[in-house]
Chain A
């Protein structure tokens, strides 16, 4: 097995799908010669030609419109939005067309497409290159939303996304594109959409997270273990549709829940998870559900290290939660 970073695993997934399915087209700003600003599509244009891997003008409306039309017409577009913070000019196509196509046509039409985009903070990107808007997409019925946190899942989930019959927003945590390597099979495999992964079993506390911040959670969990506190760590992986069963089983076991996301707290996906657990499992809870999140401010530039939930912030919240201090 090869060792790959998340970035390499994603490139490998695109390579496999481009190779085996002629309907797959990859496009966006700078994805051709440059291979994308994060080099995820590097080398693919050389291998598959400009007809299948190509640059578009600087126009997200055009990119999403093209993806929608291609998908409607039987192709499998994988569009890249350079940073998720720049998707807004294409939002009308996304909300009004892409998300509603299947439902509005009585199931006659569908738009099986993937919108890949780097998201999240940690690379000194400031207000407009760091946001985590997954909750905004999650609020639009008709879209699926995926966020991997490691190379194996990144590859398997991207292949699943391209093969999925629904439109998928595939968010890639940019801070860890090339941060570490893991064993990834070179051949094709898939990771199912809609299934969370239990990274560690535990009995005192359930921590739910996804994306880069799961790695801060891991560090906090190790610290807590040293103090004899046993945590169950769940990597949600798919935001919509999310894996309610795995969450509820875990809550029933531990009775305490902490949800950790990078996004601002108000109306974050942590809020949705918290409401879901309250509705379905309130009698299992020994303490209030806690959300550890970014602050409810725009994402700052210089102070980003104080904005994003850190191991320290997670640890503090966990202790308070275990002491019943909330």
Chain B
């Protein structure tokens, strides 16, 4: 899809948006004006809805004791899905722990996503990492570790590889606003600007790093403005507005691809649930604040916009939701039948060839298990 010219200024103090909280266009435009077809917007909506339902199921699995832990995406799916949509098939993704439920957009099977959450043998990571980690080589999705911010410099290195190989690709590296406090973020921005690399750092600013609010994370006016210090461009957008998120990310992706330079995007949004299934958010944020943000929900906003365009209604929505729910229930049922990884599996892939002492240690474990 060819997107039309979209002129916006970097480093604004207010986030860019095209839709108001009621899903109404802020000025007179048709999606086609930006090169967006109605079918495209419908597809986008369906994927955001699927992401939300995957997230809901994640929490259910913890409650049922079928997953030990869950890290949520509820409330911020729009920013993840719409930005992932801005990539081409060959582009690369450095996810972070909240990206997982949205990765079906890049071709991850929903079955695999649940296998990861439930630590089953069919998880591409073989049940070795906690829920919230996912990656798959053939889908151009790299595997992250848990340390916050670590993905950014690595993605920068990959961007250098892209440039060196004279490829026409970009990489997008996701993180929360907390990740911009780590030195990793600054190293990545600095190198990427100095070397001119096709890197998009996409910051999902959901207002909190666990309990620490945005104002205690950084004193800078916006996260996006930080790009300026490195000679890069930064855009501050409403991450609950699927249209602007898609369009701005697309613009940055296109320019990064063409001119080999990095971009920083700050998508403002909110997480509805606690940081993780091990967190209690009542200690650090009010219910009023939460309710206020729930009214700004990106899923709801896009739905209202589609209704406004006359291409969606409540009935279709209910039907789709039920369909997704049934599908997810079935998938989870199937995944549950898949066994956990074998004990033997623990000793593989520490190195390409398993050293003798690991073989010995495995035999030791085997004897322990036998008697």
Contact = CB atoms under 8 A, between A and B. Distances in A.
A238 B76 CA distance: 45
B354 to A, nearest CB: 10
Interface in B250-293: 278-279, 283-284
B181 A57 contact: yes
B148 interface: yes
Nearest to B369: A306
A89 B182 contact: yes
Contact of A301 (B129, B184, B211, B217): B129
A34 B365 CA distance: 40
Interface residues of A, number: 40
A223 interface: no
A289 to B, nearest CB: 16
Interface stretch (A14-22, A121-129, A139-147, A158-166): A121-129
Contacts of B40: none
A160 B118 CA distance: 43
Q: Dominant SS at the A interface?
A: loop
A300 B183 CA distance: 27
Interface residues on B, range: 35 or more
A18 B128 CA distance: 40
B368 A125 contact: no
Contact of B129 (A37, A86, A127): A127
Contact of B147 (A89, A303, A307, A313): A89
A223 B247 CA distance: 67
B211 A30 contact: yes
Nearest to A124: B68
B182 A296 contact: no
B183 A297 contact: no
B293 to A, nearest CB: 18
A301 B130 contact: yes
Interface string B351-371: 000000110010011011101
Which 10 pairs across A and B sit closest by C-beta, in order of nearness?
Answer: A128-B146, A34-B211, A58-B178, A126-B130, A302-B127, A57-B181, A302-B119, A124-B68, A59-B181, A33-B284
5 contacts: A58-B148, A127-B145, A295-B346, A295-B347, A303-B127
Interface of A: 29-30, 32-35, 37, 55, 57-62, 85-86, 88-89, 124-129, 265-266, 295-298, 300-303, 306-307, 310, 312-313, 316
Interface of B: 68-69, 119, 127-130, 133, 145-149, 178-179, 181-184, 209-212, 216-218, 278-279, 283-284, 340-341, 343, 345-347, 350, 357-358, 361, 364-365, 367-369, 371
Given A57-B216, A306-B369, 14 more contacts: A34-B211, A55-B216, A58-B209, A59-B181, A59-B182, A59-B183, A127-B128, A127-B145, A128-B130, A295-B346, A296-B357, A296-B358, A298-B128, A303-B127
